[in-house]
């Protein structure tokens, strides 16, 4: 063994590095929370930053400056003025779980390679399914993100609904499967359908109402049109909630329709499905417990670092239908239900220790921590919407269900085309200033600013300051 390898693996060297890095991270969290760190996103042109870090690789290494620059130059999601994409201000303890995962490197897709995380994952799923209102027959797995979660659930639906062993036989002549989805459904759903080989025509879009929720009164009509085109509808997908607007589809009515037509009912609850575990917002997900499958991202509204996604099945046996492929060198225990080998139910053959991250939070703080995180952020969404409604210089296109709020500066009195450009320009100015981070979206043919209230430490004062900043940029243009 070389001296360099000995140094890299030396426990005392690691102890020193870990303590110093944790101190830097803790300082960053403190500076973000107190806002003594004024910048949310230290903007720099991508090509300029690339050259900077290319040059860094040629310099002598100094531990603390390197990690300080890494922390300082990236986006600060724990800053209360981060109001952008749907990524949570993760609980610090989840970060320690990541350190354990990276150091122990247990590939947790089979029990022998991740015995503790495998068992923890099972317990986490049992807690989640119970909290959501499912029966004891429910089960599921953790996987790497909502996109992969949706694909996993839809593959199970394909196998169960096709009427034959689709996994073994493959595509058959004359069989043209399809799913029904909302106009507002996330692109990962249509992507999953196309990955499965159903093509663009396999995605049948159901119109939404004025509140951007699937219009359940149109389901029968759209279903019949699909049938008349020779399509076999197998699945109905509901949003809880939609990514763009945060609107919740009428899940109970969709469950009724699915039951009537014999469809698999899947709920993409990546962002807001966890409302089902909260007393205050549970009503938004009425009917979710009737879904055949549900996807929930712990890394969006439950404070866990990415990627950690639960794929839940009302009938746990259905989860084994996703991949009934055999790999004898890995999966040779056919004597009992192999719940402990999630490689049989997920895409991953090597999987991070996701169960440890969630279990450690659950064990340390109890389930109330998840309820508090979710409820606090959704409460902030309501407060944000109220402030927008009370300001005549802004337009709120709908009453938000969630912590995702879309809004538009209109104070300049310009036409819609000019306002589209103005709002897009305002967003760029906000980002370049570094004071706030927001994103934008299209609703109909209009451009809106969009904020996801992902940090429970964001305050009303922070939101009011953002509104004033936007107004200032609007008046200057």
Tell me the fold of 369-476. Answer: 3.90.1150
Query: Which comes out higher in pLDDT, residue 342 or 67?
Result: 67
Rounded average pLDDT over 348-373: 96
Helix (H) or strand (E) holding 11: helix 11-34
Q: Could you report the per-residue pLDDT of 197-207, keeping only the tens digit for each? A: 999 999 999 99
Helix (H) or strand (E) holding 349: none
Angle at 353 between CA 195 and CA 348, to 5 degrees: 25
Give the largest CA-CA distance in the chain. 72
Please give the pLDDT value at position 322. Answer: 77
**What's the CATH number of domain 105-365, 3.40.640.10, 1.10.490.10, 3.90.950.20, 1.10.10.10?**
3.40.640.10
Q: Cα–Cα distances in Å, from 140 out to 319, 396, 451?
A: 6, 38, 31
Annotate the chain with three-state secondary structure.
Answer: CCHHHHHHHCHHHHHHHHHHHHHHHHHHHHHHHHCCCCCCCCCCCHHHHHHHHHHHCCCCCCHHHHHHHHHHHCCCCCCCCECCCCCCCCCHHHHHHHHHHHHHCCCCCCHHHCHHHHHHHHHHHHHHHHHHCCCCCCEEEEECCHHHHHHHHHHHHHHHHCCCCHHHHCCCCCCCEEEEEECCCCHHHHHHHHHCCCCHHHEEEECECCCCCECHHHHHHHHHHHHHCCCEEEEEEEECCCCCCCCCCCHHHHHHHHHHHCCEEEEECCCCHHHHHCCCCHHHHCCHHHCCEEEEEHHHHCCCCCCCEEEEECCHHHHHHCCCCCCCCCCCCCCCCCCCCHHHCCCCCCCCCHHHHHHHHHHHHCCHHHHHHHHHHHHHHHHHHHHHHCCCCEECCCCCCCCEEEEEECCCCCCHHHHHHHHHHHHHHHHHHCCCECEEEEECCEEEEEEECCCCCCCHHHHHHHHHHHHHHHHHC
Rounded average pLDDT over 435-440: 97
Segments making up each domain of the chain, as ranges: 105-365, 369-476
Q: Among 63-72, 222-231, 380-389, 409-418, which stretch is predicted with the lowest mean pLDDT?
A: 409-418
CA–CA separation, 349 vs 342, rounded Å? 8
Query: Which comes out higher in pLDDT, residue 336 or 375?
Result: 375
C-alpha dihedral sign at 433, 438, 443, 448: negative
Q: Could you report the per-residue pLDDT of 6-29, keeping only the tens digit for each? A: 999 999 999 999 999 999 999 999
- Quickly tell me which residue has 């800053």 as its tokens: 79
DSSP bridge pairs for 206: 182
> Beta-carbon neighbour count of residue 123 at 10 Å?
14
Q: CB within 8 A of 466, min separation 6: which ones? A: 81, 83, 436, 438, 451
Mean pLDDT of the chain: 94
Task: Give the three-class secondary structure for 447.
Answer: strand
Tokens of 167: 């996994």
Quick check: 336 pLDDT over 60? no
CB 8 within 8 A of CB 14: no
pLDDT grade, residue 325 (50/70/90)? Answer: low
Q: With pLDDT > 70 as the criterion, what percentage of the chain qualifies?
A: 97
CB 328 within 8 A of CB 86: no
Half-sphere exposure of 101 (CA within 13 A, CB side): 24
Quick check: 331 pLDDT over 50? no
- Quickly tell me which residue has 């690691």 as its tokens: 14
CB 153 within 8 A of CB 345: no
Query: What values do phi and psi take at 108, rounded to 5?
Result: -95, 20
CB 403 within 8 A of CB 380: yes
Quick check: 335 pLDDT over 50? no
E strands, 169-263, in order: 177-182, 203-206, 232-239
Q: Among 168-177, 319-328, 396-405, 420-429, which stretch is predicted with the lowest mean pLDDT?
A: 319-328
Quick check: 342 pLDDT over 90? no
Please give the pLDDT value at position 157. Answer: 95
Quick check: 368 pLDDT over 60? yes
pLDDT grade, residue 324 (50/70/90)? Answer: low
CA–CA separation, 76 vs 40, rounded Å? 5
Please give the pLDDT value at position 108. Answer: 87
- Quickly tell me which residue has 């639960």 as its tokens: 310
Please give the pLDDT value at position 164. Answer: 85
DSSP bridge pairs for 293: 266, 313
**C-alpha 41 chain-centroid distance:** 21
CB 433 within 8 A of CB 409: no
Q: Supply the angle between the helices 354-365 and 115-132 in degrees, to the nearest 10.
A: 60
Please give the pLDDT value at position 171. Answer: 85
Helices first, then strands: H and E counts in the chain: 16, 11
Rounded average pLDDT over 443-447: 93
Q: Among 108-122, 254-268, 317-331, 333-347, which stretch is predicted with the lowest mean pLDDT?
A: 317-331
Quick check: 391 pLDDT over 50? yes
Quick check: 30 pLDDT over 50? yes
Q: Cα–Cα distances in Å, from 380 out to 245, 383, 405, 457?
A: 15, 5, 10, 10
- Quickly tell me which residue has 């819609």 as its tokens: 416
CA–CA separation, 314 vs 394, rounded Å? 43
Quick check: 223 pLDDT over 90? yes
pLDDT grade, residue 328 (50/70/90)? Answer: very low
Please give the pLDDT value at position 45. Answer: 94
Please give the pLDDT value at position 337. Answer: 60
Rounded average pLDDT over 429-437: 95
Query: Which comes out higher in pLDDT, residue 5 or 108?
Result: 5
């Amino acid at each position: 063994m070389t001296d360099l390898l000995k140094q890299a693996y030396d426990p005392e060297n690691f102890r020193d590095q870990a303590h110093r890095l944790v101190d830097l991270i803790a300082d960053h969290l403190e500076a973000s929370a107190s806002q003594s760190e004024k910048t949310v996103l230290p903007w720099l042109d991508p090509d300029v930053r690339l050259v900077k870090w290319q040059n860094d690789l040629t310099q002598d290494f100094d531990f603390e400056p390197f990690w300080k620059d890494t922390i300082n130059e990236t986006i600060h999601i724990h800053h209360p003025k981060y109001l952008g994409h749907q990524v949570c201000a993760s609980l610090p303890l989840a970060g320690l779980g990541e350190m354990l995962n990276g150091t122990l490197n247990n590939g947790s897709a089979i029990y022998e390679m991740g015995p503790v995380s495998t068992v923890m994952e099972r317990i986490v799923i049992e807690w989640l399914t119970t909290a959501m209102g499912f029966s004891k027959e429910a089960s599921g797995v953790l996987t790497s993100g909502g996109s992969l979660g949706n694909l996993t659930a839809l593959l199970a639906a394909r196998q169960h609904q096709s009427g034959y062993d689709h996994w073994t036989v493959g595509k058959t002549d004359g069989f043209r499967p399809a799913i029904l989805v909302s106009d507002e459904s996330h692109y990962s759903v249509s992507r999953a359908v196309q990955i499965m080989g159903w093509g663009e025509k396999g995605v049948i879009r159901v119109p939404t109402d004025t509140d951007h929720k699937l219009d359940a009164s149109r389901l029968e009509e759209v279903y019949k049109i699909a049938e008349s085109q020779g399509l076999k509808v197998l699945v109905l997908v509901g949003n809880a909630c939609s990514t763009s607007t945060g609107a919740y589809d009428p899940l109970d009515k969709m469950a009724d329709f699915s039951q009537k037509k014999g469809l698999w009912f899947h709920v993409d609850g990546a962002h807001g499905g966890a409302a089902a575990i909260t007393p205050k917002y549970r009503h938004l997900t009425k009917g979710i417990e009737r879904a055949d499958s549900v996807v929930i991202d712990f890394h969006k509204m439950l404070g866990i670092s990415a990627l950690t996604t639960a794929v839940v099945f009302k009938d746990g046996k259905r989860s084994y239908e996703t991949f009934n492929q055999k790999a004898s060198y890995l999966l040779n225990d056919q004597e009992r239900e192999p719940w402990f080998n999630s490689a049989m139910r997920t895409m991953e053959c090597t999987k991070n220790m996701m169960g440890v991250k969630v279990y450690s939070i659950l064990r340390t703080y109890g389930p109330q921590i998840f309820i508090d995180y979710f409820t606090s952020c959704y409460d902030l969404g309501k407060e944000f919407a109220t402030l927008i409604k009370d300001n005549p210089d802004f337009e709120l296109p709908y009453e938000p269900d969630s912590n995702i709020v879309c809004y538009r500066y209109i104070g300049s009195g310009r036409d819609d085309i000019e306002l589209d450009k103005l709002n897009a320009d305002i967003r760029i100015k906000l980002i370049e200033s570094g004071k706030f981070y927001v994103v934008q979206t299209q609703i109909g043919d209009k451009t809106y600013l969009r904020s996801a209230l992902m940090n429970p430490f964001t305050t009303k004062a922070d939101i009011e300051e953002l509104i004033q900043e936007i107004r200032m940029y609007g008046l200057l243009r």
